Structure 1
Amino acid sequence: MQNKGLVRVFAIIFGLVCLYQLSFTYLTYTKEKEAEVFAINKYPETVENYSKLRETAQKDYLDSIGKDPIFANFSYNEAKAKELNKGLDLKGGINVILQISVRDILEGLANNSKNPAFIQALDATDETQKDSQNTYVDDFFTEFENIPDAQLASPDIFANKNLSDDITFDMSNDVVKPVLRRKIDESVTSAFEVLRKRIDKFGVTQPNIQRLGESGRILVELPGAKDVDRVKKLLQSTAQLEFWDVENSQELGIFLGRMNDKLKKELEAKENKTTEKEEVVSEKVADTVKTDSTEVNIAQSDSTQTDADAEIEKLLADSEDSTDVEAQVNPINDLIGPPSVPGALVSVAVNDVEQFNSYLDRKDIRALLPQSLRFVKFAWSKQAKEGERVDLYALKGNRDNTPELSGGVITDAAQSYDQLNNVVVTMQMDGKGAKKWEEMTGRASQTRGQIAIVLDDIVYSAPGVSKGPISGGRSEISGDFTVEEGQDLANVLRAGKLPASADIIQSEVIGPSLGQEAIDSGIMSFGIALVLILIWMIFYYGKAGAFADVALVVNILFIFGVLAGLKAVLTLPGIAGIVLTIGMSVDANVLIFERIKEELAKGKSQVDAIKDGFSNALSSILDANITTGLTGLILLFFGTGPIKGFATTLLIGILTSLFTAIFITRLFIDGYGRNGKELAFSTAATKNLFKNVNIDFLKKRKIAYAISAVIVLAGLGSLFTQGLDKGVDFVGGRTYTVRFAKDVVPTDVEKDLVAVFGSAQAKTLGAKNQLKITTKYKINESGEAVDSEISNLLFKSLESHLPDSMSYEEFSNGDEDKQVGIMRSMKVGPTIADDIQQAAFISVIGSLIVVFLYILFRFRRWQFSLGAVAAVFHDVLVVLGVFSLTWKFMPFNMEIDQAFIAAILTVIGYSLNDTVVVFDRIREYFAEHTTWPLNKNINGALNSTLSRTLNTSLTTLLVLIAIFIFAEPLRGFMFSLIIGVLVGTYSSLFIATPVMYDTVSKVGLKEKKKTEEES
């Protein structure tokens, strides 16, 4: 090896840089441990809510030392910003994908046009989007073009005053389209910036926010965030701040009276109909009873009486009209009460708000308003707790239903306190807003009226103005806020409003305790796998194996150092990727050592054998790692979340493994033999293993074909009959990991769930007191209200299995003290599930095409590519078939999700790795033994690589089995990889090579026959 000194210097510098990068993680870990010990000592487990108190105490402790130097003039805050990032599955937190409503943006650009063609195109696009892979705007253009003579540049659509600088009425649709695309992109970018500003002020470390292509989707990751409801409100709040004059006309009281009279008459009419119906039913019941008592004989009395009872119950049930007939004598007067604050119209109990709104939304009720109040807008005060009352305000509206002053004029906002020490939010307006505010307050002061401050259609406060106009543009919102609510509201106002509504179409919430368990299981599996590999290498290769172990440890240092330096995120699948990389790193050393042993067997000196061994193994190592790297790149491109983490660590690991195996191991081996020391590449127990092996693999290929055909056909039959257990990633739905105080029976819990949701599944996940619950209930509906409703229904359906003292809040957030409740939740909307499914399909097919082309490029024969792809296709079908055949009775989760697709691509990479090594040796045998027949060359190559094939498979299996045993959340993922390694090893010997042999021999026979005919 040339330039050993340069390699040594580079390795040392790179190692020191990696240690430097990882030192920040160590520093933050020690300080956080100190804070944890401080919190534990301050709040022992005997204190109520000790976990929340400890969390607060720990945060306060770290805040207090945040700016103090802890090492080499670095503060804790600075070290925290440089530490190795942990993913949500290791740290806990919240991950959501927001869909910015492109429909809202289009409607805004069109000034809320009521043009029939425009509305028709939007409605059609909404339907098309449910099954479409196109962006919303692409489908909108298609639907709009389908409408005869529809023009985007119509004056009542996009050729309006707001877009006059960009769109004129004489423009064609094709000219308008790019303008709209640009405007939509600007709006999504604006939404992205608004969300980024909100998140920056939220208070979590290392948040991540990024746009996902051109779909209008935004990914938000908040590691360590725990308050789910608060985060969702922060992300989805449109911050539609408005200022309205409060309507105090006495005619509103008259309107309520008319409203009450109208509804009362309706109810009286319905009650009269019900009374008449009940009289008829009573007569029928009497006749039924009479018939039963006179005509039923004794032998039939029991059964016939039961039938009579059923008939009577049916008649009585038919007579009820509970949905239409109300119990109130005065429907409105019985609901309303005096307002709690000046300016409000009336107050209503929280539970009655929905019913009251149903009355106000009726057109015939609105028609009772006097002409002077026909544009009045009704709005409620901030929602109170159940059983309390809220106030109804009447706001002075207009024909366009727009406020006189909106929140766009706010330049700054802050949480503060009023004179009574209540939490308020103060706001500062720009010059235009200040002028309008002065005008509004001046007008209100003359009539001693109020101005309502309305946020997202909720009246937070309606201060009276009595001392003349307010200049300067400074105002205040009060509304019984908590400090956190005040901070969030100020944050939202300061960041600005979203240009369109944002719906959460995918979300994942992981509790911190589940994250800690994932860390523990990941470290356990990582440590055990590493120890097993280190011991095996020394057992099999002696001192050379010890050198490979040192290179392996250096490789691990490099991987973690690069991850920290690149600010990449370490996930649980990422740890699996690192552990798998260990196996691949060992594979490179095994290839090198086996080639060195072959060169020594030829009688070469140790120096020459080492030199030629490294040289001959290089081609196989590069080909094997490049094919695996190609599948990793596809996974990185199409994957999301933890799967990207897996792909990232895999790709980094491939690069560092190549460097350490080729250069670091070489440095140790050359250094050891420099003084003439002999280095054996085996031990007494392994010296003669696989020596003089001579198996006729090709002779057994027909048996292998038959075995594979049976397995594949059985798998395909199962796939077509009982299918796969598709996770919510692919079909949409909500899934919850719920932990109970004691063991539960999944079938019993599932019955309770089905009674509430109609359709639901409950499966044991790990321990018997933990279930994975899945439902598609209202999956097509989105919004905070729907999420809250489903969470409440889940709590009610599981209440009989939970501790009696557990509240809904403790259940929904996962009780950290008792380790009971929702530990993890995930939601995937049907649209994004469809996108994930398509991306998975593309990634698998894409990887097969890329690999076919690469092998064709490297080996120059299509038969090699065909053999490799046939083997890979065979391996994928076998893994799918095994999952289809076994998922119903396996004691661990075997759902088909994004992690499974990662596993499939990894299986493809591993299978190719093995196949390419074999093909490399076959190509080498072709060049060395030109006079040998084809089958002898192929069998010789297979036998010569058998030691490497089995050794690599064994070490990789040791790694995978360790993860399978100790990392419970990854068992399904690991099971697929274990099956993949076994079948991949088999297919490289009995599928890839035989297929290549059969196609090469057939082509050769055809060419030979053609030559004979020509001669």
Structure 2
Amino acid sequence: MQSKGVIRTFTILILLACLWQLSFTAVTAIQNKKAAQRAEQIAQASDISGIAEADRAFYLDSIRKIETRRYTDSLSGVKVYFGQTFKEVQNHEINLGLDLKGGMNVMLQVQLEDLVRALAGNNTTPEFQRAIALAKERSVNSQNDFISLFADAWKEVAPGTRLAQVFGTFEMRDRIKPESTDDQVVSVIKEEAESAVANSFNVLRNRIDRFGVTQPSIQKIGNTGRILVELPGVKEPERVRKLLQGTASLEFWPTFNFEEISSFLDEANKRLAEILAAEEAPATVAEAVAAETDAVAQELQAQSGEDASLAAARKANPLFAVLSPSGMRGSACIGFAAAADTALVNKYLRIPEIAAIFPAEFRPIWTVKSSDYVKDENVYDLVAIKASSRDGKAPLDGGAVVDAHVDYDQRRGGYPGVSMTMNAEGANVWARMTKENVGRQIAIVLDGTVYSYPNVNEAITGGSSAITGHFSIDEATDLTNVLKSGKLPAPATIVQEQVVGPSLGAESIRSGLISFLIAFLLVLLYMFLFYKGAGLVADIALLTNVVLLFGILSGFGAVLTLPGIAGLVLTLGMAVDANVIIYERVKEELKAGKGFGKAVADGYRNAYSAIIDGQVTTLLTGLVLFFFGSGPIKGFATTLIIGIITSVLTSIIVTRLIIDDRIVKGKTISFEHKWSANFLKNTNIDFLGGRKWSYLISGALILIAIGSMCIKGFTYGVDFTGGRTYVVRFDKPVTAEEVRAAVNNTFNLADPESSVEVKQFGGDSQMKITTSYKFKEESSSVDTEIENMLYESLKDFYAAPVSYEGFTSTLENPNGIISSDKVGATIANDIKRNAIISIILALIVIFGYIALRFKGWNWGLGGVVSLAHTAIIIIGFFSLFSGILPFNLDVDQTFIAAILTIIGYAINDNVVIFDRIRENLALHPGSDFKETVNKSLNATLTRTVNTSVSTLLPMLAIAFCGGESIRGLSVALCLGVLIGTYASIMIGTPVMFDAEMAARKKAAAKK
């Protein structure tokens, strides 16, 4: 091995970098544990004697949540680890998926139908309505965007009528002229659609930031108009639905100056101190929580040495303890507060006696961004809005903005700014507003938060103006989208949703970790038992591989899901695949009489082609899965791809470095125990001679599989059919039959056409309920309706009374709904389409790669037939045994992920066998082809069995210990390993042989 010193140094540096990256996860865990301990300490010290028995659990849980958040918020700007703040450390920890952490995953669709209607001035002609209806109908089964579908539909319903006649409205007159072509009009509409989606993205992002979720994720899905939002740890799904689906509201407001409000602030601070001092006890649970946490926190602070005079000052100035007056004359900013204190400031200012102190027009609103005037990034400005109109509405709203774009303010150092244009009515109002507020500030408010409050230098006429400030380009772009958003309605609706309760997430983490550890130990033990000293070297490489895997996952911000853990476990088995290939080649070289050093060098060199070809095919299917999968399946693909790369590197480099060090020191290493030295050696099985029997057996199995698919069909998951699925936990054992009867009675009364499926999910006190009731309706009101129906159907099954709130809540250790999924009809069709495309594409890619590498289509045909044989039998198994075996065998995204993974993994055996055939043909060009193929099959038999066992063992660990939600995935993978191994020997290679012999006969006949 050349340049061993450089490679060793590079490997050590990468390993250290991964350990450094993983240290952030450890630091975050330590701080979170401290936060939980402090919250528990405060909760235990709380006086609950005045709280009703039924409210105590909620009361204590509220205290824990408040204090945990208070503690972590207080650390967000504090440097806790090598100069990095806690917030920065959190951003570098391993991200857990919702199935592990609990929370909510939501796919929103920006309703471009409403956008098109608005751009057309809410056109009511029959042709326009028909075109909209056609486009909407086709969007369910099409991957084209709505604008293109509408344009095609318009050509059908109104041939000869140009789109410019429909969209050339007064508001759009500057961009769409009477002479504009249809293509030009469509281009303008698509630009508006992109702007609407970008704005929806920004609105949602800022709403989520204000919601206070740790490590939220929000991303646009290509050009589909869809936005994926992941909110870990969320426990109030209904609140999130309202937050995400609310219509954005853009407003322009005049403001008060600080000096106009400062005296009122002083008076409010004094009056608040009197009110708080006069309160003897909290009146409600919510108030009790706030009072108790403040009191206990102060008590704990006093116990830790807090100065008594400071505590007295806080008591004397309760408002100023959480809101620092800005003191900025001429500014609309009247104060600053930490993010954790903004809710308390709002609460204080809304107390009727306090609100009465301020002018009737006064409305305090927080900025969306942290303050530019305070260094702490966790502090926000409070802006004093002046609502002086009779109806209390803003003088100007977003409907007046015609256009907005990023510009650069050369007078202020070239900082990015925003130029905007208003319609005629808006221009008049804007001129009047700016004239009345020269020397003051006007606040731009979206969704109840201030985006900007620029100074007015002079009256602005003509409807054009600029907003300047110390904006970055991204901030100016976001503000541009905000301004453009107000003129057109493009609401976002939830088309797919998954909710996982934290207790189910904790169970998933526990089962995932247990299965991972068992799988890891099984692989370590197997490699040592079979390869002795070399097996220990492979174990060291495997341990290195795990560190690299988790370090890279953390470094790239990848999300670890439960299927992702299954991917990690599969990677463990596949990681030693390369070592098995290498070790078997080294053993062959040693038995050929070569010296130890020479045998090691030749063994590694001769194994490279088989290793690379086998891993590349798996990598290709992993990439297909990554690009066509979503959510947890993308997490599975991510860990699989990273695992393949790290496995190859550690299996080749780390083991070689260790073995070469022993060679340099004049030492050797054993590659076998006595019992394994001749395992499956010197076999002389005529595999090709028995191929007719294998064809017959496989043909019968395939016929049974296809027959079951056609006659019995499948049990489809909700992501293929559309609908809603709920996992419900009871406080006592129940049967699926009695739950099914109760739920059916309720849903059939409402809609006799709807279907309901109930099956046990995990233990006998947990059921999975799937319904098609109103599955084409995606509104949150339907979600609530179904949850109500479930509650009414199932409440009598509980030993202890359960309220509707308790049934639908996802608080710690819940009974009731602990997870839910919603998939709209359009999303379901997209998922099915992507599943079919991904499987076909994977087979085509593998066929092409093998045909290219082995320079013959016959080889590719053998590989693909072997894979198709394996996939069909497994699919048939899921059809035949669904509803018979005591675990979930639904055909869903996870199942498709399993099939694709099997396709990628099972080809490895074919590739190794084909590689040996190619090698033997090169060494013995005149030998009989059948004899060469049989010889190659026998020579690789040990490797084939060993790699299958080393992969099967960890997958069995997942199947038995990995939890109910991925049991179907692990069962499919186990079957894939077994059937794939058989198919590579008894189907793939014989098919390649028959195709090759047919090609040779054809070539000979032509001669």
User: Aligned equivalents of 1:164 and 1:142: distance in 2?
Assistant: 23
Q: Structure 2: how far apart are the matches of 1:715 and 1:826?
A: 30
Is the contact made by 1:241 and 1:453 (CA closer than 8 Å) also made in structure 2? no
For 2:221, the aligned partner's letter is L
Residues 91 and 223, structure 1, Cα contact 8 Å, conserved in 2: yes
Aligned to 1:952: 947
Quick check: 2:164–2:176 contact (8 Å CA) kept in 1?
A: no
Q: Which runs of 5+ in 2 are unaligned?
A: 254-338, 356-361, 368-384, 399-432, 453-478, 749-754
Question: What is the identity, as a one-letter code, of the residue corresponding to 1:990?
Answer: M
Matches within 5 A, 1:586-597: 586-597=576-587
Aligned to 1:177: 186
Deviation sequence 1:688-738 (CA, Å, 0-9, x none): 211211111101111111110111100100000111111111110000111
**Residue 68 of structure 2: which of 53, 58, 64 is its match?**
58
Which one is further off, 636-645 or 234-243?
234-243
Out of 977, 982, 999, the position equivalent to 1:1003 is 999
Gap change, CA 1:150 and 1:853, over 3 Å in 2: same
Match of 2:922 in 1: 927
User: Could you tell me which amino acid in structure 1 is paired with residue 19 of structure 2?
Assistant: L
**Contact 1:144–1:150 (Cα < 8 Å) also in 2:** no
Q: Give distance in 2, aligned partners of 1:851 and 1:885.
A: 28
Corresponding position of 2:309: none
Deviation at 1:239, TM superposition (A): 3.2
Matches within 5 A, 1:662-741: 662-741=652-731
Cα shift at 1:963: 0.7
Separation in 2, partners of 1:180, 1:783: 26
Shift of 1:878: 0.5
The 3-state SS of whatever aligns with 1:896 is coil
SS in structure 2 opposite 1:689? coil
Partner of 1:78: 88
| Aligned with residue 128 of structure 2, among 118, 123, 133 | 118
Aligned pair in 2 of structure 1 residues 52, 946: CA closer, same or farther (>3 Å)?
A: farther
Match of 1:186 among 168, 185, 195: 195
1:107 aligns with 2:117: yes
Listed one character per residue, the Cα deviations across residues 135-155 of structure 1 (whole Å, up to 9, x for unaligned) are 211211111001244534444
Give the secondary structure class of the aligned counterpart of 2:884.
Answer: coil
CA shift in 2, pair 1:785/1:725, >3 Å: same
Would you say 1:88 and 2:98 are equivalent positions?
A: yes
Residue 805 of structure 1: how far off its partner (Å): 2.9
Q: Secondary structure at the match of 1:204?
A: coil
Alignment of 1:482-493 (within 5 A): 489-490=448-449
Determine which of 850, 859, 867 is the counterpart of 1:855. Answer: 850
Which protein shows a greater Rg?
1
Q: In structure 1, what is the Cα distance between the partners aligned to 2:13 and 2:978?
A: 39
Is the 8 Å Cα contact of residues 153 and 170 (structure 1) preserved in structure 2? Answer: no
Q: For residue 896 of structure 1, what is the amino acid of its counterpart?
A: V
The aligned counterpart of 2:403 is: none
Does residue 901 of structure 1 match 2:896? yes
Written as runs of structure 1 = structure 2, the 5 A alignment for 1:484-563 is: 489-490=448-449, 499-563=489-553
Which residue number in structure 2 is paired with residue 248 of structure 1?
Answer: none
CA separation of 1:192 and 1:814: change in aligned 2, threshold 3 A: closer
CA 1:441–1:919 in 2, change beyond 3 Å: closer, same or farther? Answer: same
Per-residue deviation, residues 942-973 of structure 1 (Å, max 9, x unmatched): 01110000000001110000011111121000
Matched residue SS, 1:43: helix
Alignment match, 1:620: 610
What corresponds to 1:610 in structure 2?
Answer: 600
Equivalent residues in 2 for 1:766-915 (5 A)? 766-817=762-813, 819-915=814-910
Q: Assess, with a 3 A threshold, how the Cα gap between structure 1 residues 453 and 175 changes in structure 2: closer, same or farther.
A: closer
**Other-structure match for 1:164:** 173
**Offset from partner CA, 1:352-375 (integer Å, 9 cap, x none):** xxxxxxxxxxxxxxxxxxxxxxxx
Instruction: Spell out, residue by residue over 1:622-666, the C-alpha distance to the aligned partner (whole angstroms, 9 max, x if none).
Output: 000000000000001101011111111111111111111111100
Corresponding residue number in structure 2 for 1:295: none
Corresponding residue for residue 351 of structure 1: none
CA contact (8 A) 2:732 2:799 kept: no
User: Offset of 1:187 from its aligned partner?
Assistant: 1.7
Whether the 8 Å CA contact 1:236–1:501 is kept in 2: the answer is yes
Whole-angstrom distance in 2 between the partners of 1:195 and 1:604: 67
- Decide whether aligned partners of structure 1 residues 422 and 664 sit closer, same or farther in structure 2, where only a CA change above 3 A counts: farther
Residue by residue over 1:92-127, the C-alpha shift from the partner in whole angstroms, topping out at 9 and shown as x without a partner, is 111111111111111121121223322221122222
Q: Secondary structure at the match of 2:157?
A: coil
The residue identity in structure 1 corresponding to 2:718 is: V
Contact 1:964 1:971 in 2 (8 A): yes
Q: Which amino acid aligns with 2:589?
A: E
SS in 1 for 2:822: strand
Q: 1:96 to 1:891 in 2, by over 3 A?
A: same
| Identical positions, percent | 44
Is the CA contact (8 Å cut-off) linking 1:540 and 1:686 kept in structure 2? Answer: yes
How much has 1:492 moved relative to structure 2?
11
Is the 8 Å Cα contact of residues 152 and 158 (structure 1) preserved in structure 2?
no
Q: How high is the TM-score relative to the length of structure 2?
A: 0.77
Find the aligned partners of 2:354 and 2:890 in 1 and give their Cα distance: 51
- Displacement of 1:418 in angstroms is 3.8
- Counterpart of 1:259 in structure 2 is none
- The aligned amino acid for 2:127 is A
Alignment partners' CA distance in 2, 1:550 and 1:679: 14
What is the root-mean-square deviation in Å for CA atoms of aligned residues?
2.9
TM-score of the two chains, using structure 1 as the length reference: 0.76
Q: Secondary structure at the match of 1:94?
A: strand
Which stretch of the first structure deviates more once superposed, 490-499 or 569-578?
490-499
User: Residue type matched to 1:426 in 2?
Assistant: P
**Cα distance in structure 2, aligned partners of 1:872 and 1:594:** 25
Bigger mean CA offset, 682-691 vs 124-133: 124-133
Counterpart CA distance in 2 for 1:553 and 1:237 is: 49
1:902-942 deviations in whole A, cap 9, x for unaligned? 10000001111111111101111111122321111001100
Residues 1:223 and 2:236 aligned together? no
Tell me which of 180, 199, 203 is aligned to 2:208: 199
Aligned length: 809
Deviation, 1:174, is: 2.9
1:237 aligns with 2:237: no
Give the Cα–Cα distance (whole angstroms) in 2 for the partners of residues 104 and 233 of structure 1: 19
Please give the alpha-carbon distance, in whole angstroms, between the structure 2 residues aligned to 1:629 and 1:242: 51
**More displaced stretch, 117-126 vs 840-849:** 117-126
SS in 1 for 2:986: helix
Q: Distance between the aligned counterparts of 2:840 and 2:57, measured in 1?
A: 55
Q: In structure 2, what is the equivalent of residue 6 of structure 1?
A: 6
Q: Which residue of 1 aligns with 2:912?
A: 917
The code of the aligned residue for 2:364 comes to T
- Letter matched to residue 701 of structure 1: R
AA paired with 2:676?
T
Deviations 1:293-326 (A, max 9, x none): xxxxxxxxxxxxxxxxxxxxxxxxxxxxxxxxxx
Cα distance in 1 between the residues matched to 2:448 and 2:800? 35
Q: Provide the C-alpha distance between the structure 1 equivalents of 2:766 and 2:162, rounded to a whole number of angstroms.
A: 55
1:21 aligns with 2:21: yes
CA contact (8 A) 1:583 1:952 kept: yes
Whole-Å separation in 1 of the counterparts to 2:354 and 2:782? 32
The alignment partner of 1:542 has SS state of: helix
| Contact 2:39–2:67 under 8 Å retained in 1 | yes
Greater Cα offset, 224-233 or 530-539: 224-233
Residue of structure 1 equivalent to 2:401:
none
Return the offset for 1:91: 0.9
Distance in 2 (CA, whole Å) between partners of 1:728 and 1:492 is: 40
Contact 1:426 1:475 in 2 (8 A): no
* TM-aligned CA deviation for residue 36 of structure 1: 2.2
Amino acid of the structure 2 residue aligned with 1:1000: E
- Superposed displacement of residue 815, structure 1: 4.4
